[in-house]
Homo-oligomer: A and B are copies of this chain.
């Protein structure tokens, strides 16, 4: 039997508590070895450190770290962990820039450790069957509608509005992580980002992409949605319309009843991370972040009313 991978979580915010802790606890491939958080919240009797540097300098043995901090500070943490020979699990987005993620990948190759740029929405229950069904069809168009209430989902997260925090693309990149997994490669041809007059990141976006065959992919992102929330992708094909709803959790194929399955996104990510560590390899797909960077580079911008939380 293989020894479990001793993992430390760095950044004990909401996602660490809601997803990483239970996923690690539920996976025999892993054992939680330590936590790191400037706010000093430990888990039970486990070793706890204020900084990653303190953990790496300690005698607590760890094989891997899961970085759950905001993306703006992720490079230094990942780079230090790689230099110490640790495998690294990056929350999404994998960094604040594309260049830093490319550099981390080169460092991980050099150090011979695993680097995993995770995209949790790709492990939503409907995604793999959607990809399999689409593989045999001619795609005519696709539409992404991702509309949520930022006040509900991101209360007090100032980093999300700062440069590198992506604004409405923080949830929108989840949609792009699914779309890039189920559709042929596509790129931005036009679009508009809406920026509140008092913020540095977009609160909404209306984007037009296309693929090599000219198939249009539209994206409607909005953080000002109250009432019903939408995290939906629909794909028109020559065999009818495929619908992925609730962030990929519910798949409806033409003429069939909706398929719903248990949420296994983070367990799926940890299973993949274990597979990469055991195989001694990496998975650093930056396609979703590249599309966001392209939108910042290529889209028009318009000022909209200030956002006050």
A interface vs B, CB < 8 Å?
75, 79, 96-100, 102-103, 106-107, 163-164, 185-188, 200, 212, 287, 290-294, 296-301
A54 to chain B, nearest CB (A): 20
Which residue on chain B has the smallest CB distance to residue A97?
A: B294
> Does the CB pair A99–B185 fall under 8 Å?
yes
**Contact pick for A293, options B96, B98, B107, B287, CB 8 Å:** B98
Given contacts A79-B212, A212-B103, A212-B107, contact A97 B297 (CB under 8 A): yes
In the complex, what distance in Å separates the CA atom of A98 from the CA atom of B293? 8
Closest to A200 in B: B300
CA separation between A75 and B212, bound complex, in Å? Answer: 9
Assess the B298–A163 pair: CB atoms within 8 A.
Answer: yes
Q: Which residues of chain B are within 8 angstroms of A292 by Cβ–Cβ distance?
A: 297
State A96–B209 Cα separation when bound (angstroms).
13
The 4 closest A-B pairs by CB, nearest first: A99-B187, A97-B294, A293-B293, A100-B187
Closest-CB distance, A82 to chain B (whole angstroms): 10
A185 pairs with B102, CB closer than 8 A: yes
Given contacts A293-B294, A297-B297, 7 further A-B contacts (CB under 8 A): A97-B188, A99-B188, A99-B291, A103-B212, A163-B298, A163-B300, A296-B297
Closest to A212 in B: B103
A102–B212 CA distance with the chains assembled, in angstroms: 11
Nearest CB of chain B from residue A24's CB, rounded to whole Å: 29
Q: How far is the CA of A200 from the CA of B200 in the complex (A)?
A: 15
A269 to B67, CA, bound (A): 43
Contact for A99 among B102, B164, B186, B200, CB less than 8 A: B186
Q: What is the chain B residue whose CB lies nearest that of A190?
A: B163
Shortest distance in angstroms between A172's beta carbon and chain B's nearest beta carbon?
A: 13
| Inter-chain contact B98/A301, CB cutoff 8 Å | no
Min C-beta distance of A142 to chain B, whole Å: 15
By a CB distance below 8 angstroms, the chain B residues around A291 are 99
CA of A74 to CA of B299 in the docked complex: distance in angstroms?
17
A103–B75 CA distance with the chains assembled, in angstroms: 27
